[in-house]
Amino acid sequence: MTEHDDDLETRAPEARAAAQEAALNAQLSRLGMEQVGLSGLARLPVLRKADLVERQRALPPFGGLHVGEISHVFQSPGPIYEPGGAARDWWRFGRFVHACGIGAGDIVQNCFSYHLTPAGTMFENAARAVGAVVLPAGTGQTELQARAAADIGTTAYAGTPDYLKVIIEAADAAGLTLRIGKSAVSGGALFPSLREWYAERGIACLQCYGTADLGHVAYESAPGSGMIVDEGVIVEIVTPGTGDPVAEGEVGEVVVTVLNPDYPLVRFATGDLSAVQPGTSSCGRTNMRIRGLDGPGGPDDQDQGHVRPARAGGGTGQAAGRRAGAGDRRARRRGGHDARAAGGRCGARGSRGRGAVGAEAARQGRGGGGAAAGRRGDRGHADLRVRAHPAGRAQGALPQRCALFGEAPGASPGRDHHDSRTRLHEASPSRPRAGTFHPSGGPLCSGEPAARSAALIRRTRPSRSLPMEYGIFGLIVLIIDLYAIYQVLTSGASTASKAVWTIAILLLPVLGAIAWLLFGPRGGKAHV
């Protein structure tokens, strides 16, 4: 197995720029736009998720955008509909999977969601591109997953960062031996402690960044080395909410142009904050690198299926907050009401347990609608976009969103949101975010983790109020009692006998009601 996926990864910057310019002009031609080349790219309008939602509502399913040869249609929160293809490495995640050391001879247990959101299909497409065999495990049924991994000899894992730990612990409890030594993760926070836990067990763990709309955007080739931009996209770092490029090294919003001729997206705003990382990777790949993402930066950022890692670089958060604050003010002048509208649309997705992350984003004022980002945090991913919790953003960690594509991973800390039953795991290491497919949601996750997780069920105080049918029955009993008392009182029995029978008749229904309240069925309502 070669170190690099192909020669494109190590080509000279000049050759890459020339190839990107030709591909960009071809994309613009497909869209009927002026061919401006790389130098004029910044003058083109930014396409935001809120815009895409409105366009798709007006012109379903893809908003009138050019779509070539496709084989799938997926849905992410919004809703937003994304096309998918069956061609080799259509979403380009094969580069990331190859960087993880996965190839021919490996069996990949793919635990991303296959339901509606594209995460599962994306990683299956990538694994097949590198010649690996796929176990399409999806989400849930942890014990069966552990048994399957042991029986077939799974050697690699693809899914949210913490679910592999859950599978390993289930295997240990069942006395099973696993052979998993490689993991390609996204859609949740990969905390340094969790990566160390895997390393102690001989498992190499890398993560990537992508979305349901864009596919693969950037990836790790080594822990803590930044994220190398994919060869099939052009990444810009712009002032949040404006689309104006920032100086190299400064924090701004990630805007991506996809060079896939089947679904060309030009200047698509992700709502994520990052910065260009100086230099090139020590692995020999020569494309630009970006730091780990730092949360929402655009005015209409929607959690709809991303894959993001946790940010790398201790000072990025404060700088991002300052720049995002300025972008927020500009975004409000340009129509910041879009942020509130986006938040409302996303709110329909329901709470996914991400309030803490959203509140932190709002507190730091991270760009275009910080307060809206906080509100959106309450609603929660398997979009697939997954943002890392601030507590996990240490040097070298990558950003992560869980809705990799719509997975629904927004479980509470310690919850095995992949299991079909509602249960708690004391040792669960992290809290995945739902929404983005951040194989780092977003993108692939949405769902799952899109793992889309099981909700905690709490029972309210049992209700003992009698339903209507019991009230009617009680009225009938009362009428019978009154008639019985009348018969007793008008009988020829002694006064003492009449008193005893009257008291007995009155007590019988009372005792029956008391017995029903004490030993009868108890009502209650289950709330999710």
Q: What is the CA radius of gyration of the chain?
A: 29
Calculate mean pLDDT across residues 155-159: 98
Name the amino acid, one letter, at 205.
Answer: C
In the predicted model, what is the mean pLDDT of the chain?
73
Instruction: Show Cβ contacts of residue 107 under 8 Å, excluding neighbours closer than 6 positions.
Output: 132, 133, 134, 135, 152, 153, 154, 155, 156
Say how many C-beta atoms besides its own lie within 10 A of residue 414's C-beta: 15
Alpha-carbon distances of 466 from 10, 364, 526, rounded to whole Å: 75, 52, 18
Q: Name the least confident of 34-43, 116-125, 231-240, 504-513.
A: 504-513
Residue 201: the pLDDT is 96
Helix/strand/coil for 52? helix
Fold topology of 13-291: Rossmann fold (3.40.50)
Structure tokens at 35: 């061919």
Structure tokens at 281: 């990777």
Helix/strand/coil for 463? coil
| pLDDT tier at 489, thresholds 50, 70, 90 | confident
Q: Phi-psi category of 400—alpha, beta or left, where left has phi over 0 and alpha has psi -120 to 50?
A: beta
Quote the crossing angle between the two packed helices 49-58 and 337-347, to the nearest 10°.
70
Residue 53: the pLDDT is 95
Calculate mean pLDDT across residues 446-455: 33
Residue 263: the pLDDT is 95
Residue 4: the pLDDT is 86
The yes-or-no verdict on residue 367 having pLDDT over 70 is no
Name the amino acid, one letter, at 213.
Answer: D
Round to whole Å and give the CA distance between 284 and 264: 29
Residue 495: the pLDDT is 85
The yes-or-no verdict on residue 460 having pLDDT over 80 is no
520 or 11, which is more confident: 11
Q: Name the least confident of 40-44, 106-110, 247-251, 354-358.
A: 354-358
Helix/strand/coil for 339? helix
Residue 183: the pLDDT is 97
Alpha-carbon distances of 127 from 95, 134, 145, 276, 422, rounded to whole Å: 10, 7, 18, 29, 31
Give domain limits for the chain: 13-291, 480-527
| pLDDT tier at 476, thresholds 50, 70, 90 | confident
Calculate mean pLDDT across residues 452-476: 51
Alpha-carbon distances of 330 from 129, 295, 343, 368, 523, rounded to whole Å: 43, 18, 18, 8, 54
Round to whole Å and give the CA distance between 527 and 457: 6
521 or 511, which is more confident: 511
Element (H, E) at 120: helix 119-129
Structure tokens at 386: 């997954």
Calculate mean pLDDT across residues 223-247: 93
Taking only the tens place, the pLDDT of each residue in 92-133 is: 999 999 999 999 999 999 999 998 999 999 999 999 999 999
Residue 188: the pLDDT is 83
469 or 488, which is more confident: 488
Taking only the tens place, the pLDDT of each residue in 161-191 is: 999 999 999 999 999 999 999 999 998 889 9
- Which among 147, 91, 64, 119 has a CA at the least distance from the CA of 445? 119
462 or 382, which is more confident: 462
360 or 143, which is more confident: 143
| pLDDT tier at 468, thresholds 50, 70, 90 | low
Residue 466: the pLDDT is 52
Contact 216, 96 (CB under 8 A): yes
Structure tokens at 361: 């984003």
Taking only the tens place, the pLDDT of each residue in 291-346 is: 977 655 443 333 333 444 433 333 333 343 444 444 444 444 444 444 333 333 33
Taking only the tens place, the pLDDT of each residue in 379-423 is: 333 333 333 333 333 333 333 333 344 333 333 333 343 333 323
Instruction: Show Cβ contacts of residue 487 under 8 Å, excluding neighbours closer than 6 positions.
Output: none
Taking only the tens place, the pLDDT of each residue in 185-234 is: 998 889 999 999 999 999 999 999 999 999 999 999 999 889 999 999 99
Residue 313: the pLDDT is 36
| pLDDT tier at 268, thresholds 50, 70, 90 | very high
